[in-house]
Chain A
């Protein structure tokens, strides 16, 4: 990434942190009081962002699997960037969901009194497993360069790199071979863990029998496809920006195109089955998506900017890496609309007829619009993720990779 562009994005991230800190301060002092969601729509923007980030990690996850489990050479260049992306995205994800807890200081309760019948407990377990696996994977992928950088007399912060390399002072082919085997082993572990992680997040919603739109075997599948689509689009965009590997970008673009088609097909199925079955609450929820107050997020953001235009680009400009990258960026940027339209409409349909007319309070309504506080907190978390990612891309050896554990890259 060019220096000016890098500085611009760092500046944006810092500005986001400064602006968003007002929302964070309010959140930390007043708990959930400043948010707009209530008891009938108990989850809002932060859960939508949580799901967005969950999906964004999936593409990078798949790349690491292709590179280190199936040993596909062409993805090796992307290995470290992908592992690092998964790590940063998981961190953003956990910040969002922690901030959404009414009593976040009790998060330790997951360890003290877990309920293994709850899928949320399994999400916690699998999330932590992913975090540990990807932290280790990133470490072993960049250790060679960390050692090299710690000995590079022209490089500033050599002590920092020595610390990150855990004091290791030499790194030879044997070390590289051992680290590669460790990464291979970690990738083998992460394959079932990751699949369970993404599937569990879908099942988390699908098992709720009183939520007819979610309560479908299609939901976990839709989640996995959505995750691969948004995550694949992100990694294609990052490959274009950081690695400038045109061939890889266009290949990833083709994969994203197929994922987009499958996702739209599944989404169309959901609407078709919902309207044909004509179950009142399902139809009400689908109507909210398509014709409710936020119809424009569905038609304009998701279907227009996030599906139709990328589809045209990926079909007719498939050999242009720049165009493919922009198509992927559009998918990523508009995918919040998909997550928002998944979370809110089913919650926003009363499950007991007449409940809306009985006891009036803003917390007991189904109309939900995220307020300034929720957006500010979201800006803060995203800015934090962006800043860590950018700083890592500049001061950690996470961008390039080669067959010798990054020794060449480290001069």
Chain B
């Protein structure tokens, strides 16, 4: 066996970190994500993993991967920037919400109370990272003809995926009809429903390049704590003073 093989997959370590964090006093936990741009291959698996996990409808995306072209021909390179919600420690979106439907929870995760949100979209306008999208009630199967068959047709096709209730925020949101979260602002929530069940966020586990790291930055033993000490660390738009909880490695 070659010496270059890792002794432990980072997912295993992060899983252990997560278990430890869940045993700590929740008030002292600060969930943090670190994304290594040097490792990201732009496969978009995180985007799709997130869409599947949260049953996101068309036009709603929590974690797109921005593709950038750097340099001029022939010295051209491609760079990828996965962009979840930054879960800012000084979030501009929560301040503008007129009905306190969005706020940072005890662990610093910015959440949306779907049953309180009035859908004014002021938070979408205020977010400097365009990390929020509104659910306009779109369906993937909108254009599918409704055939009487059991196997084919809109109804059957919808039931196989998009009519499944989403489990965001640890609740079963009803099958898509007219109720929330349709009409609401929606965003990445670090898969809080998975965390509470002892699972890492979907984007972390689906990252084929192991470029996304997650954990409690207040835990000196955690992987993210160590990564944050790297000189490669940067945040998006630091000049705005939002203090994101999502960090990048150059």
A contact set with B: CB distance below 8 Å: 30-33, 35, 38-40, 42-43, 100-104, 106-107, 109-110, 112-115, 117-121, 124, 207-211, 347, 350-355, 357-359, 361-364
Contact = CB atoms under 8 A, between A and B. Distances in A.
Given A42-B125, A359-B64, A103 B98 contact: no
Interface in B104-122: 116-122
Contacts of B122: 118, 120
Contact of A103 (B60, B96, B183): B183
B132 interface: yes
Contact of B138 (A42, A359, A363): A363
Interface string B134-151: 111110000000000000
B205 interface: no
A114 B97 CA distance: 9
B86 to A, nearest CB: 11
A32 B134 contact: yes
Nearest to A29: B178
Contact of A39 (B92, B95, B124, B128): B124
14 contacts: A33-B138, A39-B130, A43-B125, A102-B121, A102-B135, A103-B180, A103-B183, A106-B118, A110-B99, A208-B92, A353-B66, A357-B67, A358-B67, A363-B134
A117 B81 CA distance: 32
Contacts of B178: 31
Given A101-B119, A103-B183, A359-B47, A38 B64 contact: no
B100 A113 contact: yes
B58 interface: yes
B183 A102 contact: yes
A359 to B, nearest CB: 4
B129 A351 contact: yes
Most buried by A among B98, B101, B138, B185: B98
B137 A42 contact: no
Nearest to A347: B125
Contact of B126 (A32, A103, A210, A355): A210
A114 B96 CA distance: 11
Contacts of B47: 359
Contacts of B127: 210
B184 interface: yes
Interface of B: 47, 58-61, 64-68, 81, 83, 92, 95-101, 116-122, 124-130, 132-138, 178, 180, 182-185, 236-237, 240
B128 A351 contact: yes
A351 B118 CA distance: 24
A120 B66 contact: no
B66 A114 contact: no
A121 B130 contact: no
A364 B125 contact: no
Contact of A101 (B96, B120, B130, B237): B120
A209 B128 contact: yes
Nearest to B47: A359
A194 B175 CA distance: 45
Given A31-B137, A364-B133, A101 B66 contact: no
Nearest to B126: A208
Given A32-B137, A38-B134, A121 B64 contact: no
B130 A118 contact: no
Nearest to A124: B98
B79 to A, nearest CB: 9
A361 B59 contact: yes
B58 A103 contact: no
Given A38-B59, A101-B119, 12 more contacts: A39-B132, A39-B133, A42-B121, A42-B134, A101-B120, A107-B118, A114-B100, A119-B96, A120-B98, A210-B127, A352-B66, A354-B68
Nearest to B131: A352
A355 B66 contact: yes
B130 A102 contact: no
A113 B99 contact: yes
Nearest to A357: B67
Contacts of B135: 102
A86 B156 CA distance: 53
A94 to B, nearest CB: 13
A208 B125 contact: yes
User: Which A-B residue pairs are the 6 nearest by beta carbons?
Assistant: A102-B119, A363-B59, A102-B183, A210-B128, A120-B98, A39-B133
B48 to A, nearest CB: 11
B211 to A, nearest CB: 16
A32 B64 CA distance: 23
Contacts of A43: 121, 125
